Amino acid sequence: MELDWNVEIRSYQGAPRGGDMGLVIPLEDGALAALVDATGHGLPAYAVAQTVRKTLFDRTNFQPDVLLNDLDVVLEGSIGAAISLARIYSDRIDFAGVGNVNAIIGGNQLLVRTGIVGQRMRTPHLTTAAFPEDTWFVMYTDGVARPRSIPAGNAATASRQLIENAGSDHDDAGVLMARWKRPI
């Protein structure tokens, strides 16, 4: 099985940098996926998002709820961020999120706690969900409306389409999509 994934980001008003940032780090038994919406826009938000990126690359072997607690400490004193994280395995995902980055798997919304990582964060909640072949896992920031349906195509084309269909003109827009696929 092959993980078909893509991160699509469109910065607010075409700015070259923004606070939405996503990544998928391939691991031996799956991947670590993250989608971040740092508070605000532009360079300050971009800096916070890059701090999150660096922290995650340094700590790929930790569970999402543990990582959110770590990030809450790392981002203390910053403007903070909404962060959703998924540890992807061959048949399931472990998921946790704090803030306004939503997640859907197989059409079902996953629990995201309110709050801001780095500021007044509540204890993250770890959810485990089945992740069968050809099931879409989608994360999207609050600059994207809840998708009514998943566009056809692969992760790259479908995520681009989602941003086009449902992305806001007044915020950074970010989408991360992943599914297990049999290699062609």
User: Residues in the site for Mn ion, rule: CB under 5 A?
Assistant: 37, 141-143, 171
Q: Are 110 and 91 in contact (CB under 8 A)?
A: no
Q: Which is nearer to Mn ion, 87 or 159 (CB)?
A: 159
Minimum CB–partner distance for residue 35 and Mn ion (Å): 11
Q: Which is nearer to Mn ion, 37 or 94 (CB)?
A: 37
Residue 62's alpha-carbon distances to 70, 88, 95, in angstroms, are 10, 12, 12
Provide the pairing of β-strand 127-130 with 92-98.
Answer: antiparallel
Minimum CB–partner distance for residue 139 and Mn ion (Å): 13
Q: Which is nearer to Mn ion, 88 or 162 (CB)?
A: 162
Q: Are 103 and 95 in contact (CB under 8 A)?
A: yes
Minimum CB–partner distance for residue 83 and Mn ion (Å): 12
Q: Which is nearer to Mn ion, 65 or 171 (CB)?
A: 171
Minimum CB–partner distance for residue 152 and Mn ion (Å): 27
Sequential DSSP letters for 91-157: SEEEEEEESS-EEEETTEEPP-B-SBBTBSPPPP--EEEE--TT--EEEE-TTBPPPSSPPSS-HHH
